[in-house]
């Protein structure tokens, strides 16, 4: 197996595209299917055993909610 370079990207999408991506993710999860997505030019395969979580962060001037999928390589 080849190793991948580390990556930390935050990509902003228009609301319509964001909704479409969330809808595809929800459909894949409901069907117990793996999820594939392209982010900033890289295709990513999310396996069935990925763990889903929601993270909330707050600072003095902003708040953030992250919907995350995590898995081991």
**Rounded to 5°, angle at Cα 34 from 31 and 40:** 125
Instruction: Grade residue 3 by pLDDT with cuts at 50, 70 and 90.
Output: confident
pLDDT value of residue 4: 78
Domain ranges of the chain: 15-70
pLDDT value of residue 1: 55
Q: What does 5-43 look like in DSSP terms, one character per residue? A: ----------HHHHHHHHHHHHHHHHTT--EEEEETTEE
CA distance 72 to 22: 22
The helix/strand/coil state of 72 is: coil
Please give the model's pTM, rounded to 2 decimal places: 0.79
- pLDDT digit string, tens, across residues 40-59: 889 999 999 999 999 999 99
Let me know: does 11 contact 41? Beta carbons within 8 Å: no
Residue 8 has pLDDT above 80, yes or no: yes
pLDDT value of residue 52: 94
């Amino acid at each position: 197996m080849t190793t991948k370079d580390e990556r930390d990207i935050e990509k902003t999408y228009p609301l319509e595209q964001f909704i479409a991506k969330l809808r595809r993710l929800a459909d894949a999860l409901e069907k117990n299917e793996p999820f594939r997505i392209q982010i900033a030019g890289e295709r990513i395969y999310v396996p069935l055993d990925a763990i889903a979580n929601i993270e909330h962060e707050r600072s003095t001037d902003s708040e953030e909610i992250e919907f995350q999928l995590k898995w081991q390589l």
